Chain A
Amino acid sequence: MSKIKALVVDDSKIMRSAVKRTLNQLMLADFEYVEAIDGEDALEKFSDDIQIVFLDWNMPRMTGVEFSKAVRKKGNTEHIPIIMITAEKSMGKVDTALNEGGANAYVTKPFTADQVSQVLSRYIDKNGNFLTENGDQGEKKSFFKDMLNFNKQ
């Protein structure tokens, strides 16, 4: 089982530690972490071998959604799942992150290990291997859109 290179972006060291601790406790895969303190730092540390991103929204200098947009604009990054982990909870924000920001999933703080596990199961198989072809992303986005519409009603 090869290591999955994850970029963990949050201005809070406590939250970066919480994300890493949760991922390690889940034991779904073996992770190698790159940490960034805001979107700008994340953009500098973003490299071709990053396989998954865990991203806060509200950060100084560059927000998570600005980072996500910048990464998608680079091109050839559609295969990299961007998981928002944020305190922003309003449906408008979820909508913005998923549809305008190019994020793939949305987890609100404080998160549980189960929530993270559920999201990761889309990208990591039961043997801990990263699913490089995320053919189900369109389906998942559609699910989130349905969820948004449901909550708006």
Chain B
Amino acid sequence: MSELLPIDLADLKEIPQEIITSVRESVEVTFESISGSRPEFHENGDENAPMNGIIGHITVFNSHHTLTLMVAIPRETALSISEVFCGMEIPFESDDMGDLVGELSNILAGEVAASVEQVGFTGQSSLPTVTRGSDLKLFMPNKPPTARLRFEGSGGGFWVNLALYESVSRK
């Protein structure tokens, strides 16, 4: 059980700032360790224009709560990341690009899991899934609290969307 959160999230309007800060720092650390430069966090990251790109989806969960991370990476940023991570640009449409973004999400979730544990949310990460396409738009659910963080890295911008909800096992 996480000490930070009530078991029942019905009255929780926002994701606790401690969790958002942990995720933000984890994103910065993860992308810095991969690319060598720290991405810049942008406060006003709530725009949600359709994107031509790829989204990595992974959760950090325990029996009570699930924190979902959606890493939304525009095509050009993804190509740039692939060059840094693999030493060569990977074709955007290839299976390898999906593999790369899945792995990137996995590394981020590992960092997030270790970081949110420090603020009282103990959980483990799931396996990642990846969605790729054009005109992609993430519709965040209305009921559970969500947050949208925007970053600008050396290879371009990207977003990390969060949603916090009760784990299915509790229903």
Contact = CB atoms under 8 A, between A and B. Distances in A.
Contacts, number: 51
B61 to A, nearest CB: 13
B114 A90 contact: yes
B100 A14 contact: yes
A15 B127 contact: no
Contacts of A21: 87
Nearest to A60: B127
Contacts of B125: 58, 87-88
A12 B117 contact: no
A86 interface: yes
| Most interface-central of A11, A13, A14 (chain B CB within 10 A) | A14
Contact of A12 (B103, B110, B111): B103
> Chain B contact residues: over half helix, strand or loop, or mixed?
helix
Interface in A7-41: 11-15, 17-18, 21
B113 A90 contact: yes
Given A14-B85, A14-B86, A88-B125, A109 B102 contact: no
A108 B106 CA distance: 12
17 contacts: A11-B127, A12-B99, A12-B103, A12-B106, A14-B99, A58-B127, A60-B127, A86-B110, A87-B107, A87-B109, A87-B111, A87-B125, A88-B113, A90-B114, A90-B117, A109-B103, A110-B30
